Amino acid sequence: MGRRFIYLLMAAPVQVLLLAVIGMPAIYVLWLSLHKTAFGQVPEFVGLANYGFVLSDPYFWRAFVNTFVVVNIVVYVELGLAVLMATLFASGMPFRRLLISIVIAPYAVSEVIAVVIWKYMLEPDVGPVSAILASLGLPELAWTTDRWAAMTMVALLSIWLHLPFSFLILYSARIGLPKDLYESAATDGASAFDRFRYITVPLLMPAILVALMFRYVFAFRLFAEVWLLTGGGPARQTEVLATYLYRHAFRYQEFGVASAIGWLMVLATLLIASGYLRAMYKRMLTGDA
Amino acid sequence: MTINKTWLAGFVGIAALGLAAPALGQDKPDNLTIISHRVHQTVSTGEQGGDITKDWQDANGVGVEWVTLDTGALHERLFRELQLPETNIDIAFLLNTRAVDSVTKLLEPFDEHMAANPVENIDDIFPGLRAAMTFDGTLYGIPFRHASSCFHYNQRILDERGVAPPKTIEEMIEAARQLTFTRDDGTKVYGFLINGEGYANTVDLARAWDGDFITLDYHVATTDEGMMKAVTLLHDFYEEGILPSNWAAIKDEEVNNWMQTGRAAMSLNSCGRNRIFNDPEKSQEAGNIKTVAIPVSEAFKDKFDVAPAKVEFWTMVIPANAKHKDLAWDLVKTMVSPENTLKAALNGNGPVRASTYDSAEMKNQLPYADEEKAVLLVGRVPLPPFDNAAKASDIFVEELQAAVLGMKSPEDAMASVQKRVTPLLPQ
């Protein structure tokens, strides 16, 4: 009992720190979400009215669908590419260091600059990508007028920006896998695909789950790519949850509504992440691989 | 006994001085704090016109401390300060669109200050600007800087296509068609370009027919003739390729860039953009961009010489919870004197007094000074201040984009704006 108390005491500073920097703001936002307030207004308790407003707002549901679709495309395409590239790079390809530098370079580019670059590349009249599409007889990507073309561009941009994160996690996990397993499998006549299917994927799964969960959480907060590229337009067709929240918080100063949106985003993220958390728990803590 | 009385009198005197000291200190602080955008400090303390606060500081023995922030952060900080029991901010700069009812309740009303220590020749300050800061008959802010819309055209492209500078909006529409073409090297030139993510320049266009988004008496005028003509015109321009296909994603920065590179021939934007368009270091079209007042429709020539375009402006306000309000008022009054308005204008400010435009120095500095003055005499704010102004403008932009891109008819889109915005207005 005495030893247990000392353990708790030693862990207390971290608990206090977590409570202070994560718990308190979250509780304050929860409190705000139950009030109607703006600058110069005394908060007025409104119960669950803010949640009711948000859940009955068609713009919220459009933003939710956009976010859900883009996040799933971004996360799975990105992870697929990261697994393939990690496998390719670990197999000992030439100029590996140079190529790794190129792959992780977008991580050093700020989101604002990335949006400006991509916006220019896909500019209808003078953009180089538009010119290539035109020279191939293909139509321009109508990302300023078509909802799904815009969301495709947002997804491409997001994958380009964040691929290095998934790649670094999976590449470091892949080069840590024991070589003798691959040598034994090769001796037994396993093809390259079999080795990938039966050795690489199962052994990489814990790292894949970690990358998946982190990317889900980060991607759900997708903001700069949409806000800077389309501003949520045309006609609010490309709005995502984070831009919807931003609009209510900082343009309309509806802090109660914005807080409710924030909490709904947290709950949605938790719901999606819970499946992966459960799988991670099973695989990593109980050794049920 | 006598000694005791003397001691007692002395003690009471010292105690009284001690009590009075904080009050005396309040009357004469070391500094007055002004919270503003960086540009306000620059135009108030620039080299060409000099520091407009210096003489006041010397005369009063009080310094001026500038705290500068970006527009959003500035208002957020100000609104937070206004809610405190007391603030260290003595003067704040407030954008006209942020001057809504709920904010003005937290500001010092100026009527008593005006009666006791009036601003010199306040009638010289453009009446539209003063009216926009008057709530229930009480003045809450003194205008300091404005941004008014003008019509910009590239004279070189007009000459190349044999088009005369338009004098009416009808001529401008025809010119936009003639100025849209593809050069031999494949570069396309668009006859007309405005920001596709904002509402203000569409209001400018509607003003050519005396149209409006929301009138100063809070009537949603989007289905009235002026705005309908403007939105239908933009839709037609988009269909005809006079506006670029990515118009809905065009921001002000892109409008600047397209004008500077000769990709757009005509635009509506702040008069002050003339400098950026003609800056030899930034523009390939330096010297070619002319700036005039937005031409009015032939049908409204009897009513206006030029279109009553958008005028947005910054005002100086004093927080109701400020500590040195009389002193702050005196500085506000000094900063907007006719002499200091000219000095600030020479430092690059958009002057709020009509008389400033008549000075020879001003005419030398701004080639479009007369045109801008003409706009200011008839111009008005793009929409009146109210708590839901940001929400209303977002609704307008959403429906405008839908109309221009063909997702809705202009009639349906503007009727939808009217239906959605009306409940947001002050009742």
pLDDT digits (tens, 9 = 90+) for B161-208: 999 999 999 999 999 999 999 998 888 999 999 999 999 999 999 999
pLDDT at residue B3 above 60? Answer: no
Torsion sign (Cα): B245, B246, B248, B252:
negative
Beta-carbon separation of B245 and A140 below 8 A? yes
Q: Which residues from chain A sit within 8 angstroms of residue B394, using beta carbons?
A: 236, 247, 251
pLDDT at residue B277 above 90? Answer: yes
Which band of pLDDT confidence, cut at 50, 70 and 90, is reported for residue B10? low
Q: Of the candidates B187, B188, B405, which has its C-beta nearest A145's C-beta?
A: B405
Residues forming beta bridges with residue B134, ordered by sequence position: B139
Instruction: Show the CA angle centred on residue A17, arms to residues A16 and A21, nearest 5°.
Output: 120
A234: cis peptide before it, omega within 30°? yes
Hey, what are A105's tokens? Answer: 């370079």
Q: What is the pLDDT of residue A126?
A: 86
Q: Which range of residues forms the domain containing residue A258?
A: 26-285
| Architecture of the domain spanning B28-147+312-378 | 3-Layer(aba) Sandwich (3.40)
One pLDDT digit (tens) per residue for chain A, 289 residues: 688 889 889 999 999 999 999 899 999 999 999 999 887 678 899 999 999 999 999 999 999 999 999 999 999 999 999 999 999 998 888 888 899 999 999 999 999 999 999 999 988 888 898 889 888 888 888 888 999 999 999 999 999 999 999 999 999 999 999 989 999 998 999 998 999 999 999 999 989 988 998 898 899 999 999 999 998 989 999 999 999 999 999 888 899 999 999 999 999 988 888 887 787 777 666 655 4
State how far residue B16 is from chain A, nearest Cα, in angstroms.
Answer: 38
Beta-carbon separation of B249 and A38 below 8 A? no
From chain B residues 81-140, the ones with a CB under 8 A of any chain A CB are 82-83, 102-103, 105-106
Between residues B282 and B8, the one the model is more confident about: B282
Q: Which residues from chain B sit within 8 angstroms of residue A41, using beta carbons?
A: 102
Beta-carbon separation of B248 and A39 below 8 A? no
State how far residue B246 is from chain A, nearest Cα, in angstroms.
Answer: 5
| Interface confidence (ipTM) of the complex | 0.86
Return the half-sphere exposure (C-beta side, CA atoms, 13 A cut-off) of residue A15.
6
In a domain, A183, yes or no: yes
CATH number of residue A49's parent domain: 1.10.3720.10
Beta-carbon separation of A233 and B188 below 8 A? no
State how far residue A75 is from chain B, nearest Cα, in angstroms.
Answer: 26
Partner B contacted by A42 (CB < 8 A): no
Within 8 A by CB and 6+ apart from B401, the residues are A233, A234, A235, B196, B248, B407
Beta-carbon separation of B82 and A233 below 8 A? no
State how far residue A144 is from chain B, nearest Cα, in angstroms.
Answer: 5
Beta-carbon separation of B401 and A229 below 8 A? no
Q: Which residues from chain A sit within 8 angstroms of residue B248, using beta carbons?
A: 144-145, 233-235
Partner A contacted by B213 (CB < 8 A): no
Beta-carbon separation of B82 and A230 below 8 A? no
State how far residue B250 is from chain A, nearest Cα, in angstroms.
Answer: 9
pLDDT digits (tens, 9 = 90+) for B345-368: 988 899 999 999 888 888 888 888
The rounded Cα A121 to chain-centroid distance in angstroms is 24
Partner B contacted by A129 (CB < 8 A): no
In a domain, A219, yes or no: yes
Overall number of domains in chain A = 1
Q: Which residues of A76-102 are buried (b: 16+ CB within 10 A; e: fewer)?
A: eebbebbbebbbebbeeeeeeeeebee
Q: Which residues from chain A sit within 8 angstroms of residue B385, using beta carbons?
A: none
Q: What is the pLDDT of residue B71?
A: 80
Mutate which: B182, B398, B404, B407, vs A, most A CBs within 10 A: B398
Beta-carbon separation of B401 and A144 below 8 A? no
How many C-beta neighbours within 10 Å does residue A69 have?
Answer: 14
Beta-carbon separation of A40 and B82 below 8 A? yes
Partner B contacted by A124 (CB < 8 A): yes
As annotated, the residues of chain B forming the CATH 3.40.190.10 domain(s) are 28-147+312-378, 148-309+383-424
Partner B contacted by A125 (CB < 8 A): yes
In a domain, A230, yes or no: yes
Q: Of the candidates B103, B249, B399, which has its C-beta nearest A40's C-beta?
A: B103
Name the CA dihedral angle for B74, B79, B85, B90, rounded to a multiple of 10 degrees: 40
In a domain, A51, yes or no: yes
Measuring CA to CA, which residue among A100, A94, A77 is closest to residue A212? A77
Q: Which residues from chain B sit within 8 angstroms of residue A125, using beta carbons?
A: 187-188, 244, 263
Q: Of the candidates B83, B245, B394, which has its C-beta nearest A145's C-beta?
A: B245
In a domain, A13, yes or no: no
Which band of pLDDT confidence, cut at 50, 70 and 90, is reported for residue B20? very low
Partner B contacted by A144 (CB < 8 A): yes
Which band of pLDDT confidence, cut at 50, 70 and 90, is reported for residue B2? very low
Beta-carbon separation of A145 and B390 below 8 A? no
pLDDT digits (tens, 9 = 90+) for B288-333: 999 999 999 999 999 999 999 999 899 999 999 999 999 999 999 9
- For B297, phi then psi, to 5°, come to -65, 150
What's the rounded mean pLDDT across residues B59-72?
92
Partner A contacted by B235 (CB < 8 A): no
State how far residue B182 is from chain A, nearest Cα, in angstroms.
Answer: 11
Q: Which residues from chain A sit within 8 angstroms of residue B246, using beta carbons?
A: 123-124, 144-145
Q: What is the pLDDT of residue B164?
A: 97
Partner A contacted by B284 (CB < 8 A): no
Q: What is the 3-state secondary structure (H, E, C) of chain A?
A: CHHHHHHHHHHHHHHHHHHHHHHHHHHHHHHHCCEECCCCCCCEECCCHHHHHHHCCHHHHHHHHHHHHHHHHHHHHHHHHHHHHHHHHHCCCCCHHHHHHHHHHHHHCCHHHHHHHHHHHCCCCCCHHHHHHHHCCCCCCCCCCCHHHHHHHHHHHHHHHHHHHHHHHHHHHHHCCCHHHHHHHHHCCCCHHHHHHHHHHHHHHHHHHHHHHHHHHHHHCCCHHHHHHCCCCCCCCCCCHHHHHHHHHHHCCCHHHHHHHHHHHHHHHHHHHHHHHHHHHHHHHCCCC
Q: Supply the mean pLDDT for chain B.
A: 90
Q: What is the pLDDT of residue A287?
A: 54
For B148-309+383-424, CATH gives 3.40.190.10
Q: What is the pLDDT of residue A273?
A: 81
pLDDT digits (tens, 9 = 90+) for B25-49: 446 799 999 999 988 999 999 888 8
In a domain, A6, yes or no: no
Mutate which: A125, A140, A227, A244, vs B, most B CBs within 10 A: A125
Beta-carbon separation of B263 and A230 below 8 A? no
Beta-carbon separation of B249 and A119 below 8 A? yes
Q: Of the candidates B106, B244, B405, which has its C-beta nearest A234's C-beta?
A: B405
From chain A residues 2-41, the ones with a CB under 8 A of any chain B CB are 38-41
Q: Which amino acid, one-letter code, is at B375?
A: V
